Amino acid sequence: MLLISDYDIVFQEVPNEVTLSLNLSDCPHSCKGCHSPQLQTKIGKELTTDIFSELLKKYGQHITCICFMGGDRHPETVQEFAKYLHSLGYKVAWYSGDTEKPSCIDLINFDYYKIGPYIEELGSLKSQTTNQRMYKIINAQKEDITNVFWKK
Amino acid sequence: MGLSETYITKRDGKKEVFSLEKIKNAISKAFLSVGSFATEGVLTNILSRISITNGTNVEEIQNQVEIALMSERYYKVAKSYMIYRQQHLEDREVLDKLNFLMDYCDAANPATGSKYDANANVENKNIATLIGELPKSNFIRLNRKMLTDRIKELYGKELADKYIEMLTNHFIYKNDETSLANYCASITMYPWLIGGTTSIGGNSTVPTNLKSFCGGFVNMVFMVSSMLSGACATPEFLMYMNYFVQLEYGKEYYKESTKVVDLSNKHRTLDKIITDCFEQIVYSINQPTGARNFQAVFWNISYYDKYYFDSLFENFVFPDGSAPDWNSLNWLQKRFMLWFNKERTRSVLTFPVETMALLTKDGEPLDKEYGDFTAKMYSEGHSFFTYLSENADSLSSCCRLRNEIQDNEFSYTLGAGGVSTGSKSVLTINLNRCIQYAAKTGKFYMFFLEEIVDLVHKVQIAYNENLKDLYNKGMLPLFTSGYINMKRQYLTIGINGLVEAAEFLGIEINDNPKYLAFVQDVLGLIEKYNKKYRTDELMFNCEMIPAENVGVKHAKWDKEDGYVVPRDCYNSYFYIVEDTSMNILDRFKIHGREYIKHLTGGSALHMNLEEHLSKEQYAQLLKVAATEGCNYFTFNIPNTICNDCGTIDKRYLKECPHCHSKNVDYLTRVIGYMKRVSNFSVARQVEANKRYYATH
């Protein structure tokens, strides 16, 4: 079960997209210096297709992408929702804090995939020394686009 | 109780123990001034007619002295005493002015020092701006007198008194009461093209080449602006300039812009010649202007997509019989925008305020090329307004210069009919006070509001009669020469405090049926009266005013009088500017067609962002705006300006990217136009700091 804490419309997290980003709680990682530690606890409510219908009714016409922020405890569920959103014609992004991609995940179900825990000394995606990677998935192939976050 | 224990009220409101000696002294002096002498007996007789109780004020005592002197038949002395009082009154007024002068000199910046209409468009505080400030109170008095006389004549004394009562109690606000001129205008330049500036009192003949166009244009804009209290829009500026470039360098000049066409040692290319013209015009117009209290003129221009261009100018003919040419204008529009965006990294250039007019169909720009170009310019950090419409039946070149285009006919004396519009006068309703007052006094607010709405329309009609008088006396050459048209200028009903009124009623400020119903009821009422009072010569529109200084004043006055005031500056948007819970899409929605449909005079959504977006993202947001019916908007990303080395950067930065100084200021829109935040009035600086800039 995925727990959604809140959502926002974002522009910087996924390049060139107008993204509905879903903040998922119950994060299994406990990175030092985490920018939203409240998401390490179980807060919010269960993410269901009903919630998606409600959000898409409100914003569906205007967004180009939906981004899962977290959800690492249940990668299969994230993947199931990703398939569902793809079937509706949206691009799907996933910000995961995992070090390795879970074997059950087929990247064909995603358009953007960020991987890597936050390591304070190395910095976030905006830092050139970051361990985190942002991939754009084109024809099931990963293209590393982390550097687009560095120009700013 | 003896007189010595009585306290009287002084002019400054302070209490003071009453002193019989002071009155005796004053009376004795009055006798001496006419060569006479007051004995103790005479003084006693006079004083016996005066009655003083606790709290009697100085004016009342002096009135009693006057009457006592006359009752005792000392008429000459009474006259002298009255003259003496009048002189002191005048001295006190001068002293007030002197105090204001000192305060103004000590104020942090001109906008903060201004007593009547704080305005960030005045950058420097000096003798010229001070000269402009001093007569403002007299203008207010004069304007009120002219208006109330006319209201009396048209509707009777009761309504005139009611107007002053509503005005002094801040239920309504008369914008630009410190100026005598009508408000703002979008002009047709055809009368200038065929007659020069002589018809409006100037001495320049018709422009005949690019050089005389550039110089003459600047003069013309200065002259027009000196006869307006607000903005001057020239929606045809680039189209006319294009005509003159073509005259000199051929119809297809844009295809050879890199060619060297200057035979001087400079060897300038055509592109350089053209951008030098831009430079001359833009820098000249951004200069402080003597005739406008050292304010720069407030200049607006428009860009058009192909469809708008076709629709506005399809019948247009230049005096030599040629028609405007889209291909070259298309190039020149883009060239100007690119140049201006770059130039703004060199110098703080506030004007022109630019509006891109795009026709939309099925939720996206019809002219793909211009939709793309608009998104590209936003992504390159250029800040300008976009106006979207499904039909070319309206146009906007400024927040309050939206107009319905009634006729697109071309006239050989006046040019394109569609571009000429404006507002003669703005009278604003303070909705928060009106609605709270109604609730306090047990009235249904819509009934109370209806009285106010009816009143403001009648006042505007009276204003229009006064303007007609000036027109008939030949005082308004802009109208008589055809730059603008008396029948096509609106009388504007402004609104302020809408969000705050809704909050008072317990309505949540987001897209919900209750808020929408409230907005539509209130604005619908105004529109009903706009239609009711419309005649062949009267047109009304309704605008959510930018309220650069009124927003602050209303909040202050309402707070002082005990009304619920949730913030120190009333919003000029349908949402709460500091609200972090509304995302960007929510904000477009709440400035969408259902909310703005009765705002016939317009409103502008200022989308505040912390970082620039990509071209693709802006393109998507143009679609969002088109789908939601949000017709006028801009994106604000504060630009950084270094106070040490002067570097201007389009990004919102904490330190200068060049010299790494942390002593930086920001350029953003105070309301419609971009200025340094430090030029804002102190109250507006506080508001600007609270603005929510979406960070994601």
How high is the pLDDT of residue B695?
Answer: 47
Q: When comparing pLDDT for B672 and B663, which is higher?
A: B663
Judge whether residue B652 has pLDDT over 80.
yes
- Identify the closest residue of chain B to A9 by CA–CA distance: B583
- Report the C-alpha gap between B663 and A133 in whole angstroms: 35
Judge whether residue B277 has pLDDT over 70.
yes
The DSSP secondary-structure symbol of B263 reads -
| Run of H or E including B607 | strand B605-608
With H, G, I as helix, E, B as strand and everything else as coil, classify residue B173.
strand
How high is the pLDDT of residue B471?
Answer: 96
**First-to-final CA distance of chain B:** 74
How high is the pLDDT of residue B128?
Answer: 79
Q: When comparing pLDDT for B118 and A29, which is higher?
A: A29
How high is the pLDDT of residue B3?
Answer: 45
Q: When comparing pLDDT for B675 and A13, which is higher?
A: A13
What are B554-588's pLDDT values in tens digits?
A: 999 999 999 999 999 998 899 998 888 899 999 99
**Nearest one of B387, B369, B430 to B631, comparing CA atoms:** B387
How high is the pLDDT of residue B288?
Answer: 83
Q: Is B624 within 8 Å of A152 when comparing Cβ atoms? A: no
Interchain contact A13–B (C-beta under 8 A): yes
Nearest to A8 among B616, B627, B696 (CB): B696
Q: How far is B464 from chain A (nearest CA, A)?
A: 45
Q: Are A64 and A93 in contact (CB under 8 A)?
A: no
How high is the pLDDT of residue B406?
Answer: 61
Sort out which chain A residues have CB atoms less than 8 A from B617's CB and list them: 11, 16-18
Q: Is B696 within 8 Å of A63 when comparing Cβ atoms? A: no
Section A122-150 average pLDDT: 94
For β-strands B674-676 and B664-669, DSSP reports them as antiparallel
- Identify the closest residue of chain B to A7 by CA–CA distance: B583
User: Residues 6 or more apart from B601 whose CB is under 8 A from it?
Assistant: B400, B402, B423, B490, B492, B493, B541, B542, B543
Sort out which chain A residues have CB atoms less than 8 A from B695's CB and list them: 12
Q: How far is B428 from chain A (nearest CA, A)?
A: 34
Q: Is B696 within 8 Å of A13 when comparing Cβ atoms? A: yes
Best of A7, A10, A12 to substitute, by most chain B Cβ atoms within 10 angstroms, is: A12
Integer-rounded Cα radius of gyration of chain A: 15
What are B582-639's pLDDT values in tens digits?
A: 999 999 999 999 999 999 887 889 898 888 999 999 999 999 999 999 999 999 888 8
Judge whether residue B179 has pLDDT over 90.
no
Section B87-96 average pLDDT: 86
Say how many C-beta atoms besides its own lie within 10 A of residue B212's C-beta: 15
Q: How far is A126 from chain B (nearest CA, A)?
A: 13
Q: Are B308 and B390 in contact (CB under 8 A)?
A: no
Of the ranges A3-7, A19-23, B103-107, B290-294, which one carries the lowest mean pLDDT score? Answer: B290-294
Cα dihedral sign, B252-B257-B263-B268 = positive
Q: How far is B582 from chain A (nearest CA, A)?
A: 9
Of the ranges A19-33, B116-130, B340-354, which one carries the lowest mean pLDDT score? Answer: B116-130
Judge whether residue B122 has pLDDT over 70.
no
CA dihedral B532, B533, B537, B538 (to 10 degrees): -110
Judge whether residue B687 has pLDDT over 80.
no
Size of interface A-B (CB pairs under 8 A): 46
Sort out which chain B residues have CB atoms less than 8 A from A10's CB and list them: 696
Q: How far is B621 from chain A (nearest CA, A)?
A: 8
- Report the C-alpha gap between B461 and B458 in whole angstroms: 5
User: Residues 6 or more apart from B128 whose CB is under 8 A from it?
Assistant: B288, B290, B293, B294
Quote the crossing angle between the two packed helices B431-440 and B445-472, to the nearest 10°: 140
Tokens of B468: 């007609």
- Identify the closest residue of chain A to B650 by CA–CA distance: A152
Judge whether residue B418 has pLDDT over 80.
no
Q: Is A8 within 8 Å of B627 when comparing Cβ atoms? A: no
Q: How far is A107 from chain B (nearest CA, A)?
A: 24
What are B43-77's pLDDT values in tens digits?
A: 999 999 999 888 889 899 999 999 999 999 999 99
Interchain contact A60–B (C-beta under 8 A): no
Of the ranges B207-221, B297-311, B428-442, B669-683, which one carries the lowest mean pLDDT score? Answer: B669-683
How high is the pLDDT of residue B102?
Answer: 80
Q: Are B487 and B407 in contact (CB under 8 A)?
A: no
- Give the predicted TM-score (pTM) of the model: 0.87
Residues of chain B whose beta carbon is less than 8 angstroms from a beta carbon of chain A are 583-586, 588, 609, 611, 613-617, 620-621, 623-624, 627, 651, 694-696
Integer-rounded Cα radius of gyration of chain B: 29
Q: Is A12 within 8 Å of B627 when comparing Cβ atoms? A: no
For β-strands B648-649 and B639-642, DSSP reports them as antiparallel
Q: Is A18 within 8 Å of B617 when comparing Cβ atoms? A: yes
Sort out which chain B residues have CB atoms less than 8 A from A21's CB and list them: 696
- Identify the closest residue of chain B to A62 by CA–CA distance: B624
Q: Is A16 within 8 Å of B584 when comparing Cβ atoms? A: no
Q: Is B585 within 8 Å of A59 when comparing Cβ atoms? A: yes
Q: Are B551 and B570 in contact (CB under 8 A)?
A: yes
Side-chain half-sphere exposure of B309, counting CA atoms within 13 A = 22
Judge whether residue B411 has pLDDT over 80.
no
ipTM: 0.94
What are B2-28's pLDDT values in tens digits?
A: 445 789 988 888 888 988 899 999 999
Sort out which chain B residues have CB atoms less than 8 A from A59's CB and list them: 585
B375 — pLDDT class (breaks 50, 70, 90): very high
Interchain contact A15–B (C-beta under 8 A): yes
- Identify the closest residue of chain B to A6 by CA–CA distance: B581
Share of chain B above pLDDT 70, in %: 94
Section A95-107 average pLDDT: 96
Q: Is B696 within 8 Å of A17 when comparing Cβ atoms? A: no
Section B485-501 average pLDDT: 94
Q: How far is B584 from chain A (nearest CA, A)?
A: 7
With H, G, I as helix, E, B as strand and everything else as coil, classify residue B606.
strand
Q: Is A61 within 8 Å of B627 when comparing Cβ atoms? A: yes
CA B137 from chain centre, in angstroms, equals: 18
Tokens of B109: 């910046």
Q: Is B620 within 8 Å of A8 when comparing Cβ atoms? A: no
Best of B624, B627, B635, B649 to substitute, by most chain A Cβ atoms within 10 angstroms, is: B624
Beta bridge partners of B353: B300
Cα dihedral sign, A58-A60-A64-A70 = positive
Sort out which chain A residues have CB atoms less than 8 A from B694's CB and list them: 11
How high is the pLDDT of residue B488?
Answer: 86
What are A58-84's pLDDT values in tens digits?
A: 999 999 999 999 999 999 999 999 999
Q: Are B604 and B385 in contact (CB under 8 A)?
A: yes
Judge whether residue A22 has pLDDT over 60.
yes
Tokens of A25: 């709680």
